[in-house]
Amino acid sequence: MGVDTTVVKCPECSSRNLEYDENRGERHCNDCGIVIEEDIVDQSPEWRDFNDSGQQTDRSRVGAPMTNLLHDKGLSSTIDWQNKDYSGNLIASRNRSQLYRMRKWQARSRTKGSKERNLQQALAQIQQICSKMKLPKTVQERSADIYRRALAEDLVRGRSIDSMVCASIFIANQQMLTARTVDDIAKVARIGPKEIGRTYRDVKRKLAIRTPLPDPKIYVNRFCSELQLGPKVQQTALDIIRRAEELEMTHGKSPCGVAAAAIYISSQTSEQARTQREIAEVTNVTEVTIRNRYKQLAKSLKIELDI
DNA sequence: ATGGTTTTTACTGCGTC
DNA sequence: GACGCGGTAAAAACCAT
Chain A residues 68 to 87 with C-beta below 7 Å from nucleic strand C: none
CA-CA distance, A266 to A34, in Å (whole number)?
Answer: 49
Contact between the CB of A299 and strand C at under 7 Å: no
Name A106's Cβ contacts closer than 8 Å, sequence gap at least 6: A75, A78, A79
Task: Supply the pLDDT for residue A79.
Answer: 46
CA proximity to A42, closest of A129, A128, A134: A128
**Strand C positions within 7 A of protein Cβ atoms:** 3-9, 13-16
A7 Cβ within 7 A of any nucleic strand B atom? no
Q: What is the pLDDT of residue A158?
A: 85
Per-domain residue ranges of chain A: 1-63, 114-207, 217-300
Q: What whole-number distance in Å separates Cα of residue A240 and Cα of residue A245?
A: 9
Angle at A188 (CA atoms; ends A182, A193), nearest 5 degrees: 30
The arrangement of secondary structure in A1-63, i.e. its CATH architecture, is Single Sheet (2.20)
Q: How many CB atoms lie within 10 A of CB A44?
A: 17
pLDDT at position A240:
95
Topology of domain A217-300 in CATH is Cyclin A; domain 1 (1.10.472)
Question: The domain A114-207 belongs to what CATH superfamily?
Answer: Cyclin-like (1.10.472.10)
Distance A240 CA to B15 C1' (A): 29
Distance CA A43, CA A131 (A): 8
**Each residue's pLDDT tens digit in chain A (307 positions)?**
333 445 555 555 555 565 554 434 445 555 544 445 433 333 333 333 333 333 344 333 333 444 555 555 444 444 444 554 555 555 555 555 666 656 555 555 544 578 889 999 999 999 999 999 999 999 999 999 999 999 999 999 888 999 999 999 999 999 999 999 999 999 999 899 999 999 999 999 899 998 999 999 999 999 999 999 999 999 999 999 999 999 999 999 999 999 999 999 999 999 999 999 999 999 999 999 999 999 999 998 876 665 4
Q: Do domains A1-63 and A114-207 have the same CATH topology?
A: no
Q: Which nucleotides of B are covered by protein (CB under 7 A)?
A: 5-10
Interatomic separation, CA of residue A52 and C1' of nucleotide B5, rounded (Å):
48
Say which nucleotide is closest to residue A257, CA to C1' distance: B7
pLDDT score for A301: 87
